[in-house]
Amino acid sequence: MSASGGIFWKRFKRNRLALWGGIVVIVLFLIAIFADILSPFEPDAIDRRHILEPPTSLHPLGTDDLGRDVLSRMIFGSRISLSVGFVAVGIASVIGMIFGALAGYYGGWPDRIIMRFIDIMLSIPTFFLILAVIAFIGPSIWNIMIVIGVTSWMGIARLVRAEFLSLKEREFVLAAQAIGAGDLRIIFGHIMVNSMAPVFVSAILGVASAILVESALSFLGIGIQPPIPSWGNILTIGKDNLEIAWWLSIFPGIAILVTGLSYYLVGEGLRDALDPRLRSGSK
């Protein structure tokens, strides 16, 4: 491990909450990857003998209104939630980095046009925009990923722009310009690689937001559609049977809460560990 990597790890592990959040994130990754092995039942297996059955030794998290095992559906739902989160954030990061790089590097009228467009996007309530677009194009897992991605890139663009405004006057950029390096090489080969830390932190925080948005859309019935399992549509069934099947609301609700909180804690821990002002103040 390099010296800088050692300093980063030392600083990150001081934050106990971030460390525990990271452990939860790793566990969720493993659950999603090995869902086929960990799931005790097929997520779509209907058993009408055990409809709305409370938690038992056979079904530790109970069953839903079709007799499907809730634990199995939540395990497979973790794969859906993480897929939506990472793909949506990947789309948002690419768009945000491109717009932010162009605005910060060139300045002038490109910067003014891009920033005014960002201001317009930020003035629109994002969730209602997503609702409108999904209602128009129809719900599917890919539509949800794309729509969340293309409506959540503005924060990353502003971060990248700020980094470019700071870095483009540094000596290494001036040296690259002096030897005749082209704009694309300077933008992506020199400045962008030195401005990835805040983007990475913002992306980690964005995963939690994307998972929450997907769960909310599925809860409202315009997200991931049954029989594909997601935490949001399990909650919808729980809402319809709240008085007689409390487990359908409690367990997916806890899963969404713990997942979102864990990514938030990891993101905050990374922000503290990567903040050069904190690093310079360390002994």
**191 pLDDT higher than 50:** yes
pTM metric for this prediction: 0.86
Q: Do 229 and 73 touch, CB atoms closer than 8 A? A: yes
Give the contacts of 226 (CB within 8 A, at least 6 positions apart).
233
**254 pLDDT higher than 50:** yes
Give the contacts of 197 (CB within 8 A, at least 6 positions apart).
274
pLDDT digits (tens, 9 = 90+) for 222-236: 888 888 888 988 988
Rounded average pLDDT over 140-157: 90
* Residue-level pLDDT at 173: 84
Dihedrals φ, ψ of 272, to 5°? -65, -40
* Residue-level pLDDT at 282: 41
Rounded average pLDDT over 26-32: 93
* Residue-level pLDDT at 5: 61
pLDDT digits (tens, 9 = 90+) for 2-23: 555 667 777 777 888 889 999 9
Rounded average pLDDT over 66-81: 92
Query: Other CB atoms closer than 10 Å to residue 169's CB: what's the count?
Result: 9
Q: Is residue 50 packed enough to be buried (19+ CB in 10 Å), middle (13-18) or exposed (0-12)?
A: middle
* Residue-level pLDDT at 263: 92
**278 pLDDT higher than 50:** no
The confidence band for 279, taking pLDDT boundaries of 50, 70 and 90, is: very low
pLDDT digits (tens, 9 = 90+) for 95-135: 999 999 999 999 889 999 999 999 999 888 888 888 888 88
* Residue-level pLDDT at 126: 82
**59 pLDDT higher than 50:** yes
How big is the chain, counted in residues? 283
Domain boundaries, the chain: 3-280
* Residue-level pLDDT at 194: 84
User: Is-cis flag, bond preceding 227, omega within 30?
Assistant: yes
The confidence band for 174, taking pLDDT boundaries of 50, 70 and 90, is: confident
CATH architecture of 3-280: Orthogonal Bundle (1.10)
pLDDT averaged over every residue in the chain: 87
* Residue-level pLDDT at 141: 86
Rounded average pLDDT over 74-80: 92
Rounded average pLDDT over 261-272: 89
**46 pLDDT higher than 60:** yes
